[in-house]
């Protein structure tokens, strides 16, 4: 019997037969257990302000310049029929080829794995025909065993394996909700899901994660802004808190022309402010076009302003003048557009104001069903959330769109 086994038997005898634990035995011998515990802990040196200022943390390395960093993560959010999947495929194509998005955002060439659990394989195959992909693009499609981070069906292990073997640099999950059985309305379960995905970085420490999110009851965005038709539980803030970048899509249709405004509502690794821009367009039944236009039509400007106003009111109440000034200062829109947006929100009963002047505006609290998730996610929780979590987000729907999404 080796020494380790003898020591184990000795501990068991002392504990079970004599009722003496190891700490008591060491104490009787004059040995401090506190000292032993301290030796087992890592030494953490906390810098002062001067030392911190002198430390070189290096520059941010980008997969997509000023948008998504290497080893970072992002989510794409939007309401239905807003071309989320088209945008994700567009990103994948440009990363696999190392060419700039919209001829503006440089990319680092890398291999991409796309997990599609929403589109039937035939539909997704048709989408890819719009581009010219090569062998650096991999597709985990619905014809394979359902991908899940929970089920023991070999799917998660298969993805980990190909990431390691092929050194995949970007993985796109479309859609996130279909890959797990956790309660997305709680921070605890949301963290479990994200931590599980982080395990994929065992195959490549620089792996970038992009999630597409649009199912109902997945996120707090729709209830925070009162945009959903049905009454559903508020989701967890953790999804937005855990990623580096949030891309929000707003689509309008006029004269049979679809236009999608892309707004970078969170971009914590970049100091560059990216203005909202029209990034996707489709005329009637023609092919999808990827364009870049910062000149946004008035209708879309008002929609963006309404999103922004609801976002800031989810933090605290503001005077009318303060709201308009913030819209102008943050380069969301001009004062006249802000006034129109505020008027429409008031007419739609999404915001309310005091009777006396100057009017103080607040967000209208939406009625919610009584359940555990609701109790854990009250309106007070929304108002007290960290400031970097209060970004403009868009609503989601129950059904994924097969043609336009």
Q: What is the CATH number of the domain that holds 123?
A: 3.40.50.300
Identify whether 51 is part of a domain: no
- Give residue 88's pLDDT: 98
Q: pLDDT per residue over 246-259, tens digit each?
A: 999 988 888 899 99
Rg (CA), the chain: 26
Q: Are residues 22 and 121 in the same domain?
A: no
- Using CA atoms, how far residue 281 sits from 68, 286, 289, 292, in Å, is 23, 10, 5, 10
- Flag whether pLDDT at 217 surpasses 60: no
Q: Are residues 103 and 10 in the same domain?
A: no
Q: Are residues 93 and 133 in the same domain?
A: yes
Identify whether 231 is part of a domain: yes
- In what helix (H) or strand (E) does residue 262 lie, and over which residues does it extend? strand 257-267
Q: Which residue segment(s) compose the domain that 330 sits in? A: 62-389
Identify whether 398 is part of a domain: no
Q: Are residues 164 and 105 in the same domain?
A: yes
- Flag whether pLDDT at 400 surpasses 50: no
In this structure, what token pair is assigned to residue 164? 């390691």
Q: pLDDT per residue over 45-60, tens digit each?
A: 999 999 999 999 999 9
Confidence category of residue 372, pLDDT binned at 50, 70, 90: very low
Identify whether 105 is part of a domain: yes
Q: Are residues 37 and 75 in the same domain?
A: no
CA–CA dist 241, 391 (Å, integer): 10
Q: Does residue 235 come out as left (phi exceeding 0), alpha (psi in the -120 to 50 range) or beta?
A: beta
Confidence category of residue 181, pLDDT binned at 50, 70, 90: very high
Most confident option among 64-78, 217-231, 282-296, 391-405:
64-78
Q: Are residues 214 and 334 in the same domain?
A: yes
Mean pLDDT throughout 387-394? Answer: 35
Torsion of CA 127, 131, 132, 137, to 10 degrees: -60
Q: pLDDT per residue over 135-179, tens digit each?
A: 999 999 999 999 999 999 999 999 999 999 999 999 999 999 999
Q: Are residues 301 and 233 in the same domain?
A: yes
For 88, residues 6+ apart whose C-beta sits below 8 A from its C-beta are: 76, 114, 172, 174, 210, 212
Q: Are residues 40 and 71 in the same domain?
A: no
- Give residue 187's pLDDT: 86
Where are the alpha helices (H) located in 17-83, listed in sequence order?
A: 22-28, 33-40, 49-54
Identify whether 53 is part of a domain: no
Question: Collapsing DSSP states into helix, strand and coil, what is residue 401?
Answer: coil
In this structure, what token pair is assigned to residue 398? 């129950």
- Give residue 277's pLDDT: 92
CA dihedral sign of residues 169, 237, 259, 179 = positive
Q: pLDDT per residue over 266-316, tens digit each?
A: 999 998 889 889 999 999 989 999 999 987 777 778 888 998 999 899 889
Identify whether 396 is part of a domain: no
- Give residue 385's pLDDT: 36
Q: Are residues 161 and 230 in the same domain?
A: yes
Where are the alpha helices (H) located in 186-237, listed in sequence order?
A: 187-198, 221-224
Confidence category of residue 27, pLDDT binned at 50, 70, 90: low
Q: Rounded to two decimals, what is the model's pTM? A: 0.66
Q: Are residues 14 and 163 in the same domain?
A: no
CA–CA dist 51, 101 (Å, integer): 39
Q: Are residues 38 and 160 in the same domain?
A: no
Identify whether 112 is part of a domain: yes
- Looking at the 3D structure of the chain, how many domains does it have? 2
Which class for 149: exposed (0-12), middle (13-18), buried (19 or more C-beta within 10 A)? Answer: buried
- Flag whether pLDDT at 65 surpasses 90: yes
Identify whether 397 is part of a domain: no
Across the strands, what pairs with 160? none
Q: Are residues 38 and 67 in the same domain?
A: no
In this structure, what token pair is assigned to residue 284? 């009637």
Q: Which of 276, 280, 279 is nearest to 307 (CA)?
A: 276
């Amino acid at each position: 019997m080796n020494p380790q086994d003898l020591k184990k038997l000795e501990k068991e005898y002392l504990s079970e037969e004599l009722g003496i634990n190891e700490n008591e035995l060491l104490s009787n011998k004059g040995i401090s257990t506190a000292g032993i515990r301290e030796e087992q802990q890592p030494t953490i040196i906390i810098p002062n302000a001067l030392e911190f200022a002198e430390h070189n943390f290096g520059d941010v390395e980008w997969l997509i310049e000023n948008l998504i960093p290497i080893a970072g993560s992002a989510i794409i959010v939007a309401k239905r029929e807003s071309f989320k999947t088209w945008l994700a495929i567009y990103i994948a194509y440009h990363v696999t080829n190392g060419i700039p998005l919209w001829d503006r955002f440089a990319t680092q060439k890398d291999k991409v794995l796309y997990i599609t659990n929403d589109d039937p394989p035939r539909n997704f195959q048709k989408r890819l025909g719009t581009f010219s992909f090569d062998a650096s693009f991999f597709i985990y499609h619905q014809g394979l065993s359902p991908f899940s981070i929970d089920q023991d069906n070999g799917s998660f292990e298969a993805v980990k394996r190909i990431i390691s073997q092929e050194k995949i640099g970007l993985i796109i999950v479309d859609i996130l909700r279909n890959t797990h059985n956790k309660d997305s309305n709680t921070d605890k379960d949301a963290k479990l899901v994200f931590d599980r995905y982080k395990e994929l970085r065992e195959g490549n420490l620089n792996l970038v994660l992009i999630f597409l999110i649009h199912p109902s009851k997945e996120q707090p965005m729709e209830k925070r802004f009162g945009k959903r038709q049905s009454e559903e539980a508020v989701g967890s803030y953790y999804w937005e808190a855990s990623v580096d970048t949030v891309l929000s899509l707003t689509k309008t249709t006029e004269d049979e022309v679809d236009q999608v405004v892309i707004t970078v509502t969170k971009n914590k690794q970049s100091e560059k402010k990216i203005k909202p821009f029209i990034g996707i367009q489709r005329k009637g039944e023609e092919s999808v076009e990827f364009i870049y236009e910062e000149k946004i039509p008035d209708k879309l400007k008002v929609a963006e302003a309404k999103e922004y106003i609801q976002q800031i009111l989810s933090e605290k109440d503001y005077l009318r003048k303060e709201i308009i000034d913030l819209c102008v200062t943050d380069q969301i829109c001009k004062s006249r557009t802000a006034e129109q947006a505020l008027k429409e929100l008031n007419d739609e009963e999404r915001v309310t104001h005091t009777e006396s002047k100057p009017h103080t505006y607040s967000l209208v609290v939406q009625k919610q069903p009584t359940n555990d998730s609701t109790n854990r996610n009250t309106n007070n929780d929304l108002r007290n959330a960290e400031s970097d979590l209060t970004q403009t987000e868009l609503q989601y729907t129950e059904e994924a769109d097969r043609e336009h999404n």
